A and B are shown apart, each in its own frame.
Chain A
Amino acid sequence: MIPREATRPLVTAGVVLGIGMGGFVDGILFHQILQLHNMLSNWVLRDSLVNEQINMVWDGFFHAFTWASVAVGLVLLWRAVTRPGVLLSGQALLGAILFGAGLFNLVEGTIDHEILQVHHVYQNGNHLLWDMVFLLSGVVLMAAGWLTMRTGFQKAHSCTQKPV
């Protein structure tokens, strides 16, 4: 078994980075480019300029959180790579980022879309189907991330075990 002390710092940093980057994908792609929904678009309907602006302000709070998450992730990543004994693997870091992005989709999708219903992924149609696809994407990303992390750490570990 690869000791968890050797993998934990990189995993935590990658997951926090992934949460922030997953949030940015949601905010940039769905809120801004495609404009499928905004932060409160199920509560404050986007039927006037002022309501659109209110949604935009709350989108800003959401982006502030994702920015902070990326900043914390960078600090954790710096601490991980400068700490002795940590197994470093780019593939494992990618896996952790994917895992974090999936975790974001799963948690945000469950709380915002299903429990509080502040918005749905696709506001103007069969929102349940789109919401379920979003949740499923979270589970798939988490599974793919975990497998990528495992393979990455195994490769890095076998390199460190190589006889000199």
Chain B
Amino acid sequence: MRLPRYLAAVTAAVPTTVAHACTVCDSANGHQLRAGLFNGHFLHTLGVVAAPVPVLLGAVLLLHRLLPGFPEPSTEHATAQTFSRDLVPAEAAQ
């Protein structure tokens, strides 16, 4: 894999501090972390972590295509709303 080699190059450029506990640090901790991450299971784990993404994307596309129209408000409700709104400017004018 090229990524660990790339990270090692980045590591050399990163000024290390007291803790040395970062993903790209050139320290025992950093090496352990990278060994735990970029092992033979990296792509499998990436696939597992990303598993909900295509399902969510599919759900959004399905909703976008099949979204039903929302029912209009009942006539009484609409009339009452229109009536009350019409009253406001009339009262304000007085």
Contacts and interface: CB of A to CB of B under 8 A. Distances in A.
Interface of A: 1-4, 7-8, 11-12, 15-16, 19, 39-40, 44, 49-51, 53-54, 57-58, 61-62, 65, 103-104, 107-108, 111-112, 116, 118, 149-150, 153-155, 157-159, 161-163
Contacts of A118: 48-49
B66 to A, nearest CB: 9
A54 B38 CA distance: 10
A87 to B, nearest CB: 9
Contacts of B82: 158, 161-163
A153 B70 CA distance: 8
Interface of B: 21, 23, 29, 32-33, 36-37, 45-46, 48-53, 55-56, 59-60, 63-64, 67-73, 77-78, 81-82, 85-86
A12 B64 contact: yes
Most buried by A among B48, B52, B64: B52
Given A107-B56, A155-B81, A158-B82, 7 more contacts: A11-B67, A16-B60, A40-B45, A58-B49, A118-B48, A157-B72, A158-B78
B34 to A, nearest CB: 10
Contacts of A15: 60, 63
A19 B67 contact: no
Interface of B is mostly: helix
Given A1-B69, A11-B63, A163-B82, A57 B49 contact: no
Contacts of B77: 154, 158
Contact of A53 (B23, B51, B53): B23
27 contacts: A1-B70, A4-B68, A11-B64, A11-B67, A12-B67, A40-B45, A50-B33, A50-B36, A53-B23, A54-B33, A58-B45, A58-B49, A61-B49, A103-B56, A103-B59, A107-B52, A111-B51, A111-B52, A149-B70, A150-B71, A154-B70, A157-B70, A157-B73, A158-B81, A159-B81, A161-B78, A162-B82
